[in-house]
Amino acid sequence: MVTPKLKVRSGNQEATRKLIDAGVHPLMARLFAARGVNSASDMSHHWGVLVPPSKLTHVDTAAVQLANAIEAQRKLLVVADYDCDGATACAVAIRALRSMGANVDFLVPNRFETGYGLSPEVVELATRHPNGKPDLIITVDNGIASVDGVDAAKQADIEVLVTDHHLPGDILPAALAIVNPNQPGCGFPSKNLAGVGVIFYLMLALRAELRRRNIYAPDGGPRLDQLADLVALGTVADVVKLDANNRLLVTQGLMKIRKGLMQPGIRALFAVAAREPAQASAFDLGFALGPRINAAGRLADMSLGINCLISNDEGEALTLARELDRMNQERRGIEHEMQDQALDAIDPGRLDTTSSVCVYHPEWHQGVIGLVASRLKEKYWRPTLAFARDDSGQLRGSGRSIPDVHLRDALDLVSKRCPNTILKFGGHAMAAGLTLRETGFAEFQKAFDDAVRTLSGKTRFEPEIETDGSLETGYANAEVAGMLQRQVWGAGFPAPIFSDSFHVQQQRILKEKHLKLTLERGHQRFEAIWFNHATPLPERIQAAYRLDQNIWNGRVSAQLIIEYAEAE
């Protein structure tokens, strides 16, 4: 296990003062300013301040192509990715296009059969789609790297519109239009849109184009804001940076959900996750709903998740959500078993001499290795790769990294130093995937560790918990906890963690794995819990914690969720 360091996040007193003068709560002003918010306008969540679609390169061209296709009643096919962002993006596309009169269906690649994106194999499947061969394919959350797939589609007399948010390669696909804020020359100021955000923008542009054609009145057409719950779910689940524009999209979605205005599938997912929509938070989207949608793509076919999100029948949506919940429970069981096997296989002595972790078992499930890599990365705080064997006998790997090591760059260095080791790889700084020959695992393991050391210049890595310092005693209450919970926190805009000294009054172990505490600070007493920690604490501690609400028998009180504690 690693021991984290506590570090106080830098504040910004001038920005804090400005926000307070604009009427922002003093604690919120301090927290927002420390996260780069300089004015109250940066916190506006009204649709009117959304970055306009016209700033997205090719969005108007793509909208014209879609409007022409709808008028000609051409067959459209949405090709989605098999994660939650891809599923919600597909649902937004299907719901919006059908509401605007399109003849549209969807196809989602199978993780284990055709792999990721619009490949020639997926195009072949599209030509035999039950709805008939499409005239136009729209990719969502993929396609920017599908050079061969777009060429294959053209040869099959199918046009392609690409909507994606991933980084492009050196060659772009020859599509009718590419809508991607990260493509060369695109001036869209929010480069952090998720795939679901990109297709939502295209649907806004399409409605504007249909208004220009007088098909709708100047302010007419479908209410696309009613899809905000889907946009929020995909944005949070894909862990994209929550800049001001993304926070607006997520906030609008959560406001809809809290008012009960959501798709039947979203309502059903809240029900099976035993979460209360009226109190919905970004945490619910990322840790309750997202994993249930993702379970379909990990274990079977993401069509199940998409059908749940596009169903207008409450009963059908609930049936599908229950199946997704069952799959998620199965996924958790598989993950726990794989994690235990991985921990058993890791030699503690070897950890003392290496800077990375590579684990492999021939019977592991391909769809779950990324989750295992993530758990091990958190436990050992070093770049981690987990591998499983595919049907062809090759090893499929999924990796997670830490801020000190750019994972894709490390794999690129291995491929240059040992050209025959990696068959293919891709990804970004924090996550990546790759394929190896099974016989090359041992060689790769050493080469990867060498690459990590070369790039980082380190043999040891120490995690940091960045805190917001002490929580003022006047704000350590249930009301402020609720105010914090209603805000949108996430990637790039982390939820507040405070750090204070406490006297441990009482402590006991819950369910053999959680530490339940009664803590005292000055004249204030708090109930607290440290999940998955069963070692008793000394009498005086310095703790990093989140302020949360505990609701029991209708009574609401403040509760501290301990992230880390050490003897003072």
Q: How far is residue 453's CA from residue 383's CA, in Å, rounded to a whole number?
A: 11
Burial annotation 285-319 (CB, 10 A radius, 16+ → b, else e): bbebbbbbbbbbbbbbbbbbbbbbbbbeeeeebbe
Nearest by Cα to 76 from 49, 104, 109 = 104
With a CB cutoff of 8 Å and minimum separation 6, the contacts of 227 are: 91, 92, 95, 96, 200, 203
* pLDDT one-digit tens code per residue, 76-90: 999 999 999 999 999
Distances (CA, A) of 426 to 104, 121, 138: 31, 19, 23
Query: What is the C-alpha to C-alpha distance for residues 537 and 428, in angstroms, rounded to an integer?
Result: 39
Distance CA 311, CA 317 (A): 6
CA gap 267, 289 in Å, rounded: 10
Q: 528 and 507 in contact (C-beta within 8 Å)?
A: no
- Alpha carbons within 13 A on the beta-carbon side of 324: 35
pLDDT of 3 reads 85
373 neighbors 379 (Cβ within 8 angstroms): no
DSSP 207: H
Q: Which residue has the tokens 């504007």?
A: 208
* pLDDT in 10s for each residue of the chain, 568 residues: 678 999 999 999 999 999 999 999 999 999 999 999 999 888 889 999 999 999 999 999 999 999 999 999 999 999 999 999 999 999 999 999 999 999 999 999 887 787 778 999 999 999 999 999 999 999 999 999 999 999 999 999 999 999 999 988 889 999 999 999 999 999 999 999 999 999 999 999 999 999 999 999 999 999 999 999 999 999 999 999 999 999 999 999 999 999 999 999 999 999 999 999 999 999 999 999 999 999 999 998 899 999 999 999 999 999 999 999 999 999 999 999 999 999 998 988 888 889 999 999 999 999 999 999 999 999 999 999 999 999 888 999 999 999 999 999 999 999 999 998 999 888 888 999 999 998 999 999 999 999 999 999 998 899 999 999 999 999 999 999 999 999 999 999 999 999 999 999 999 999 989 999 999 999 999 999 999 999 999 999 999 999 999 888 888 899 999 999 999 8
What pLDDT, on the 0 to 100 scale, is given for residue 53? 97
The pLDDT score that the predictor gives to residue 43 is: 87
Q: Which residue type occupies 392?
A: S
- pLDDT score, position 1: 64
Per DSSP, 51 falls in state P
What is the three-class DSSP state of 329? Answer: helix
The Cα–Cα gap between 151 and 505 comes to: 68
How many Å apart are CA 100 and CA 208, to the nearest integer? 11
Query: Among all chains, which residue has been given the structure tokens 């993401």?
Result: 302
| pLDDT of amino acid 366 | 92
Work out the angle at residue 183's Cα, subtended by the Cα atoms of residues 181 and 186, and round it to the nearest 5 degrees: 60
Residue 75: which H helix or E strand, with range? strand 75-80
Taking CA atoms, 66 is separated from 51, 78, 161, 221, in Å, by 22, 12, 9, 15
| 126 Cβ contact list (under 8 Å, min separation 6) | 77, 79, 107, 133, 134, 137, 153, 156, 158
User: Exposed, middle or buried by CB within 10 Å (0-12, 13-18, 19+), for 74?
Assistant: middle
Report yes or no: 142 and 164 within 8 Å, Cβ to Cβ: yes
- Return the SS3 of 560: strand
Question: What span, in angstroms and rounded, lies between the C-alpha atoms of 342 and 332?
Answer: 15
Alpha helix (H) residue ranges in 434-555: 441-456, 478-486
Cα angle 371, 373, 378; round to 5: 95
The kind and range of the H/E element at 137 are strand 136-140
